[in-house]
Amino acid sequence: MEQALKTGNQKLVMIATLGLAATVAFAGPHDMDHGKGKKPGDGKPTLPNCPVMGEPVDFSVKTMTKEGPVYFCCKMCIKKFNDEPSKYTQGLSEQKKALAKLPKVQVTCPVSGEPIDTKVFIEERGKKTYFCCKGCIDKYKKDPAKFAAKLADSYSYQTKCPVMNGEIDPGTFITLKTGQTIYFCCKGCDKKFLKDPAKYAPKLAEQGVHIDPKKVEVAPEATSKNATKSSGDDGDSHKKHEGHDHDH
């Protein structure tokens, strides 16, 4: 009798195991990957979702609105959003709430769009807003509301160096031909990154920046003064105020 019960229990365990295996086998790639990178408690930041598809955003894919940038999972979603923005109000609201919980670093001036100078800022209610020069502070103070959207777009949610995992330095970056800007903690990390971008791509992906390692190439004259100079660089590849009139 005891032997029969033991045999019966073994059969039940085998049936349950086969059932679980069948469930996994029939789950499609989208089902298995859905929500990837958004598990609570895994030590990784929870990325906001695209208001159109509900998938984690790529911070390199965005459009500007009167309130600031809106981020998407792919370029096709931008057109859908622009064609009928009212359709995605709820998704947009949820994205803004998620963005508010993420760490961010101001990297560009809200007036000129140029890289900030960390020594040039104003402080209101304990919060600092940085600019590229004092001339931009004067313009900003005259009409802060005019620059509200650009201020919202002046932050990077890539706050960790993909090489050393340290806090980024807003003045140390490279801009790729894709238009993506990658930030680093110090001079030299950019060189390591360019030697083996595939090695550091996962760390960027965790922060919502997706690159194609095979297509990583620095855009001409788009490297910070703190980044490692490439061969043939004349030392003045990044002209901070080129074409930018501050009316000093």
Tell me the pLDDT of the chain (248 aa) as tens digits.
445 444 454 544 444 443 433 333 333 323 323 333 344 445 567 899 999 999 999 999 999 999 999 999 999 999 999 999 999 999 999 999 999 999 999 999 999 999 999 999 999 999 999 999 999 999 999 999 999 999 999 999 999 999 999 999 999 999 999 999 999 999 999 999 999 999 999 999 999 999 999 999 998 876 777 776 543 444 443 344 433 444 43
pLDDT of residue 228: 67
pLDDT of residue 100: 95
Residues 57 and 48: their CA atoms lie apart, in Å, by 6
pLDDT of residue 25: 35
pLDDT of residue 242: 39
CA dihedral of residues 49, 153, 41, 202 (deg, nearest 10): 90
Sorted by sequence, the CB contacts under 8 Å of residue 199 that are 6+ apart come out as none
Query: Of 92, 97, 114, which is closest to residue 46 (Cα–Cα)?
Result: 97
- Long-range contacts, stretch 93-102, CB < 8 angstroms, 24+ apart: 94/48, 94/49, 94/51, 95/48, 95/49, 95/50, 95/51, 95/57, 95/70, 95/71, 98/46, 98/47, 98/48, 98/49, 99/48, 99/157, 101/46, 102/45, 102/46, 102/48, 102/157
Helical (H) or strand (E) element with 223: strand 218-223
For 111-144, letters b (16+ CB in 10 Å) and e give: bbebbbbeebeeeeeeeebbbbbebbbebbeeee
pTM of the complete model: 0.74
Helical (H) or strand (E) element with 182: strand 181-183
pLDDT of residue 219: 86
Query: Of 89, 91, 90, 87, which is closest to residue 72 (Cα–Cα)?
Result: 91
Helical (H) or strand (E) element with 151: helix 148-152
Residues 49 and 96: their CA atoms lie apart, in Å, by 10
pLDDT of residue 227: 75
pLDDT of residue 181: 96
Q: Residue 232, by phi and psi: left (phi above 0), alpha (psi -120 to 50) or beta?
A: left
Q: How big is the chain, counted in residues?
A: 248
Q: What does DSSP say about strands 117-124 and 181-183: parallel, antiparallel, or unpaired?
A: unpaired
Query: Of 38, 34, 55, 35, which is closest to residue 46 (Cα–Cα)?
Result: 38
Tokens of 43: 């030590």
Tokens of 8: 């019966």
In degrees and rounded to multiples of 5, residue 234 shows phi and psi of -85, 5
Tell me the three state secondary structure of residue 158. Answer: coil
DSSP-assigned beta bridge partners for residue 173: 183
